[in-house]
Amino acid sequence: MEIVINRAAPVADEARQLPATTYNLAHRLLVRSRGVVFVPIRAMQFLAVIDREEVVFVDCMYKDQAVIAWQGFRPQARTALDQPVPYQAVYYREGGPDLMLRLQTEFAKALAGLSSKDVQAGPATVLKFPTPEREP
């Protein structure tokens, strides 16, 4: 499957911090997926695309256009795993900073919901069914 996300010239950018719980959860999902994670943010009708470099947010109305990208995560800047992670938010349309207020909260909720769907509890067991005998 190939998804192409176009980017206009950035309108603005700013330094921000992502809460540790959100960053750690996104990173765990990324490792588990082995490449890319698609996170539907239903409350806002957005899709977040997470890869090793960034998180890109796409609005359902403009499916091929990036709205916001979170880039340049610096987890090495923190001294403990429970500290926020600095990153750069890049806005590709007007109103991006206002959108960020809700997006960061809804993204965390969507990540939590996604991670709870793929939980494997306990060891797996193999069931052995007897082979029915055939009549000659």
Decide if pLDDT at 125 tops 80: no
Residue 34 binned pLDDT confidence (cut-offs 50, 70, 90):
confident
| Pairwise CA distance, residues 61 & 14, whole Å | 25
Mean pLDDT, the chain, integer = 87
User: Is this prediction's pTM over 0.85?
Assistant: no
3-class SS of residue 99: helix
Four-residue CA torsion sign, 92, 97, 101, 102: negative
| Pairwise CA distance, residues 107 & 136, whole Å | 63
Written as six digits, the tokens of 83 are 């500290």
pLDDT in tens, 99-112: 998 998 999 999 99
Residue 3 carries which side chain, given as an amino acid letter?
A: I
pLDDT in tens, 39-90: 999 999 999 999 999 999 999 888 889 999 999 999 999 999 999 999 999 9
Residue 124 binned pLDDT confidence (cut-offs 50, 70, 90):
low
